[in-house]
Structure 1
Amino acid sequence: MIKAILIFNNHGKPRLSKFFTHYSEDVQQQIIRETFHLLAKRDDSCCNFLETGSLIDGTDVKIVYRHYATLYFVFCVDSSESELGILDLIQVFVETLDKTFENVCELDLIFHVDKVHYILSEIVMGGMVLETNMSEILTHIEAQSKLEKSEAGITAAPVRAVAAVKNFSPSVANLSNISLPSLPNIPTSFKELKTALPNFNKKF
């Protein structure tokens, strides 16, 4: 089982952290710090996995990682996971990010954290691997993007409708030029009313 997935830069600044077991914020930060210290002192020529002792939950956990330019991609797993399988999974994750963001960099992880978490959830859920086929993952991501765009269009429809009404509404200046049909003179006194109604005296 995958215990945690971490991404941090060469200075130990976390860019993504996903724990599949509940830990307090302090414990999570401690795990990130200790993991970084373990990896920062390793040479790039070393293998990409190591035993950590009792880093998480007091149980033996293996760290499987890849170092790309300024970022470490780290999977903390138990003994049931294959190190080589996890290395391939990290490669799928990174290539998917690269396809999605077109040459992914650290800033993409900072400014698009929601999308990065969505991509990760297509690959791993609840500590279990869901999908390793990158084309399938990209298909799901594209479908999600289309859905988000359509929802954004529905949300913006009322705003566009109001703008259209405003554009078609006549201005005050135009209202002053509208000619209205003349209305008959309305009697203002009882005498004028008698004159206007010739049969008035006959009936009353």
Structure 2
Amino acid sequence: MLVAVNVLSTCMFQIQFVLLISRQGKVRLTKWYSPYTQKERSKVILVYKRYASLYFCMCIDQDDNELEVLEIIHHFVEILDRYFGSVCELDLIFNFHKAYYVLDEILIAGELQESSKKTVARLIAAQDSLVETAKEQASSISNIIAQATK
């Protein structure tokens, strides 16, 4: 596993976009990192790997290393699996904002930002804690307003 982390931490390329597509062809998640014309699209290649009922796709330049991108895809899937407990298509449908947050912790502007699964898990847990705190505060404010308006 140490080798995979070293490979991930030395990536020197930019991912153009990320797609998660179901077997039925429905797009479940998209993240675009750079715009390009139709002519430029012919210069990029699509690297994908299927996990269960989802295809994880990333677009890279022809000169970039496909094996590194496959490793990033696997890294993303492992983190989603840890977070959702065996991630499935429904997790992405009903918790798409969390899937985007995980992706944003791993990739920024199409470049690998964080290769440590523990660090990503810690950041996601902190974000979930902030969201729960905000929900509780909003609920208590709503209760105070409701009491005041009676």
**Pairwise TM-score range, normalised by the shorter structure:** 0.7 to 0.9
Distance 1:3 1:56 in 2: 14
In the other structure, the counterpart of 1:13 is 26
Mind listing any 5+ residue stretches in structure 1 that lack a counterpart?
Answer: 28-54, 170-204
Greater per-residue strand proportion: 2
In the other structure, the counterpart of 1:63 is 46
Pick from 88, 91, 115 the counterpart of residue 98 of structure 2: 115
* Amino acid across the alignment from 2:30: S
Pick from 106, 110, 120 the counterpart of residue 127 of structure 1: 110
In the other structure, the counterpart of 2:64 is 81
Larger RCO (alpha carbons 8 Å, 6+ apart):
2
Other structure's SS at 2:40 match: coil
Other structure's SS at 2:142 match: helix
Residue identity (%) = 35
TM-score, reference length from structure 2 = 0.81
Q: 1:58 to 1:71 in 2, by over 3 A?
A: closer
In the other structure, the counterpart of 1:159 is 142
Distance 1:94 1:56 in 2: 31
Other structure's SS at 1:119 match: helix
The question of 1:104 aligning with 2:87 is answered yes
CA RMSD of the aligned region, Å? 2.3
Q: For the pair shown, which has the larger CA radius of gyration, 1 or 2? A: 1
Other structure's SS at 2:101 match: helix
* Amino acid across the alignment from 1:152: K
Aligned length: 137
Distance 2:77 2:144 in 1: 42
